[in-house]
Chain A
Amino acid sequence: MNDVTMTAQGTVPLVEMRDIRVSFGGLHAVDGVSLSLRAGEVVALVGGNGAGKSTLMHTLAGAHPADSGQILVNGEPVQILTPRDARTHGIEVIYQKLALAENIDAAGNLFLGRELRTKTGALDDSAMASATRDVMKRLNPRFRNLNTPVQSLSGGQRQSVAIARAVHFNARILIMDEPTAALGPAETAQVRELIEQLKSEGIGIFLISHDIHDVFDLADRISVMMQGRLVGTVDKNKVTKDEVLAMIIMGQAPAGRG
């Protein structure tokens, strides 16, 4: 359970999760896991199905509160019980199934739950469309279909809507759940570019992924989970893919680093 919190850099991590536990009935989905994330860093969270990666991230996102443990944002202990709580701390999630309402257009999705309103309390669709256009210009200049339901968009475009939602509201901490799982090669490349750009803006990213290539391309550090426990967190440059695979499959941390 030896985590790499507070390393040589000495800076306060964006997020620190300490000894998080979540159980469903008798099952310990997350069993005493500690993780940290610094600004401009990508930490990949890997492990087999049911390893507890998604559940752990749900607790950070406010989708499912932890039974015990502590979460610190910028060194301050915070309480995250709902998605709203998470957002007020600058934590945004991009879910595997994208969490977009398919029947609503890009602007409607971008502002879902945080709609801009006019003085009379009506939806200010024009203001939302305009803001959407501006943020999309930054992320994906080819994006045009602001007024069509997102179901008619391509996977990459939908992914950019989901990411735009996080970026527009000044997320500092981003959780990406399998961001490239549903995408073709060109779109995957596009999302990778996007992640590099977000990193350069100082956003910290938790990346949940099954794809070991994605993980090695994008992550700075890799945390491996198995059966609710953290096997270990390793620096990408100091391990081989085989070593990480061994951690995922056997639950063995590489010698000297576990």
Chain B
Amino acid sequence: MTDATTIDSGPGATGRLARARTFLSSTGIDTRQAGMVTALVVIWAAFHILSGGDFLTSRNLWNLSVQSASIAVMATGMVLIIVSRNIDLSVGSLLGFLGYVMAMVQTRWIPETFGLGFGHWYIWMVALAVGVVLGALLGAVQGSIVAYGGVPAFIVTLGGFLVWRGLIFRMGEQGQTLSPLDGTFRLIGGGPDGSLGEWRSWLLGILGCVAVSASIYLSRRRRRRYDLAVRPLAVDLGLAAFACAVILVGIAAVAVGYESPITRKPTGVAYPVVILLVVTIGMVYLSRRRRFGRYVFAIGGNPEAAELGGIDTRRTIMKTFVLMGVLCAVSAAIQTARLNSAVTNLGVQNELDVISAAVIGGTSFAGGIGTITGAVLGAVVMQSLRSGMMLLRIDSPSQDIVVGVILVMSVGIDAALRIGRRRSAAAALAIGLVVAAIIIQTGRQ
């Protein structure tokens, strides 16, 4: 297959490392993400051994998947914000406010204010729709001030951070907790009934396999039609087989493997995870295959070039904040549904987790660089660290220290590798791991 149409393998690729890199790039696998998956595998293995075999269990991995979902959903939006050289510090507060409003809709406004009572089939939809629309609106308000008002995103969202949190307390007199939520709405959060169950999980897996294979095939056909270089057939087949294996093994081991402690049946893929999958696919499509995503990256790479290319940069920036608001609403639904209540401190510190997930996932604050899937992986890495340390009975302050060290370390490694300083990267890795190990060892209760 490497004939005259091969145009993207540069000349002078000598040395084993260069050849390995050429091979990786020919498969379309990003070296950074390959590194992250490796890191994740190492973290999982380490915790599995340290915890005496408690980490890689269906139960733990199922919980991990559910706990990662809400942060990961928001992290996909944060990637686009950071890529376009902005930041959103308000997501935790916005999530809290939207969650509170959605809870108000189903516990107060529909049943009492409108006198319609509880338990109607449409309540969850109305609540979710109100949350999503409000999220988009508030995102648009912040985005417009950033894009058209010329106030730096850091300041606007710092203001939002205070305002949205304050509004929660203004709405819920003396910070009362709103509970219980609508029964159908609660399914969004997972829990015993909030998952696909056995056969539907398998169906999802098979659909996933078909979708992955089809997309690989279609991209191949498209490139063929234009006489562009295509990957060797064996590589494409291997990729498809590998992806299918990961999907099916994941479902077998995590989703179906975990028997619900209540129903004694295989739980299947939890709804928050289904939501995360849908959001991830949608966001990848938006960022890679639509003009909007291309423009976000162009703005991050060179704002002047984007402007001179005739791109409406302000509108694009505003849209990223609208999208972020919508994703906050989705995460707010997941979190309140999971808690079966809305509390005033919902989402506190979430902004830090979301930004960390995006950054651990390879998003650069210099702008222009970042991937949606990287951010989702970043969220899983963060949650793995927390959940693993929980299993090791490490106190919460020590957990924070470790996550902080790992965050700085991962960005340090990334920065060093970007300018080709492999030794500095190794040093950063070593220092980070030693510090983390000391904290973990001394933080055990």
Interface of A toward B, CB cutoff 8 Å? 61, 63, 82-84, 87, 93, 95, 97-104, 108-109, 112-115, 117, 121-123, 125-127, 129-130, 133, 144-148
List A contacts of B288 (CB < 8 A). 123
Of B11, B227, B297, B308, which one neighbours A63 at CB under 8 angstroms? B308
Is the CB–CB distance between B310 and A101 below 8 Å? Answer: no
Interface stretch of the complex, out of B39-47, B110-118, B273-281, B298-306: B298-306
List A contacts of B96 (CB < 8 A). none
Beyond A114-B310, A126-B228, A148-B8, 17 extra complex contacts between A and B, CB < 8 Å: A83-B307, A87-B310, A93-B308, A99-B304, A99-B308, A99-B309, A100-B302, A100-B305, A101-B301, A103-B300, A112-B311, A113-B310, A123-B291, A126-B222, A130-B226, A144-B8, A148-B10
- Nearest B residue to A85 by beta-carbon distance? B310
Given A122-B289, A126-B222: A115 in contact with B294 (beta carbons within 8 A): yes
A108 vs B289: C-alpha distance in the bound complex, in angstroms?
Answer: 12
B95 to chain A, nearest CB (A): 30
User: 16 A-B contacts, Cβ less than 8 Å apart?
Assistant: A83-B307, A84-B310, A95-B304, A99-B308, A101-B368, A102-B368, A103-B301, A108-B294, A112-B294, A117-B291, A121-B291, A123-B291, A126-B226, A129-B226, A129-B228, A146-B8
List A contacts of B369 (CB < 8 A). 103
Interface of B toward A, CB cutoff 8 Å? 7-8, 10-11, 222-223, 225-228, 285, 288-291, 294, 297-298, 300-302, 304-311, 368-369
List A contacts of B289 (CB < 8 A). 122-123, 125
A44 vs B368: C-alpha distance in the bound complex, in angstroms?
Answer: 35
A126 vs B35: C-alpha distance in the bound complex, in angstroms?
Answer: 28
Is the CB–CB distance between B368 and A130 below 8 Å? Answer: no
A37 to chain B, nearest CB (A): 20
- Nearest B residue to A108 by beta-carbon distance? B294
A109 vs B8: C-alpha distance in the bound complex, in angstroms?
Answer: 16
A87 vs B223: C-alpha distance in the bound complex, in angstroms?
Answer: 29
Closest 7 CB pairs of A and B: A113-B309, A101-B301, A130-B226, A103-B301, A103-B368, A113-B310, A112-B309
Is the CB–CB distance between B10 and A121 below 8 Å? Answer: no
Is the CB–CB distance between A83 and B7 below 8 Å? Answer: no
A102 vs B302: C-alpha distance in the bound complex, in angstroms?
Answer: 7
A119 to chain B, nearest CB (A): 13
A102 vs B162: C-alpha distance in the bound complex, in angstroms?
Answer: 36
Is the CB–CB distance between A121 and B290 below 8 Å? Answer: yes
List A contacts of B308 (CB < 8 A). 61, 63, 83, 93, 95, 99
A129 vs B311: C-alpha distance in the bound complex, in angstroms?
Answer: 20
B29 to chain A, nearest CB (A): 14
Of B225, B285, B290, B298, which one neighbours A126 at CB under 8 angstroms? B225
B304 to chain A, nearest CB (A): 6
Of A100, A108, A144, which one neighbours B10 at CB under 8 angstroms? A144
A97 vs B308: C-alpha distance in the bound complex, in angstroms?
Answer: 12
List B contacts of A146 (CB < 8 A). 7-8
List A contacts of B307 (CB < 8 A). 83
A122 vs B291: C-alpha distance in the bound complex, in angstroms?
Answer: 7
Is the CB–CB distance between B306 and A101 below 8 Å? Answer: yes
A1 vs B291: C-alpha distance in the bound complex, in angstroms?
Answer: 46
A97 vs B11: C-alpha distance in the bound complex, in angstroms?
Answer: 27
- Nearest B residue to A129 by beta-carbon distance? B228
A123 vs B301: C-alpha distance in the bound complex, in angstroms?
Answer: 19
Most buried by A among B291, B304, B309, B311: B309
- Nearest A residue to B5 by beta-carbon distance? A133
List A contacts of B7 (CB < 8 A). 133, 144, 146
A129 vs B230: C-alpha distance in the bound complex, in angstroms?
Answer: 12
Most buried by A among B10, B228, B288: B228
List A contacts of B298 (CB < 8 A). 101, 104, 108, 112
List B contacts of A63 (CB < 8 A). 308
A194 vs B304: C-alpha distance in the bound complex, in angstroms?
Answer: 25
List A contacts of B285 (CB < 8 A). 122
Given A99-B304, A101-B368, A115-B291: A145 in contact with B309 (beta carbons within 8 A): no
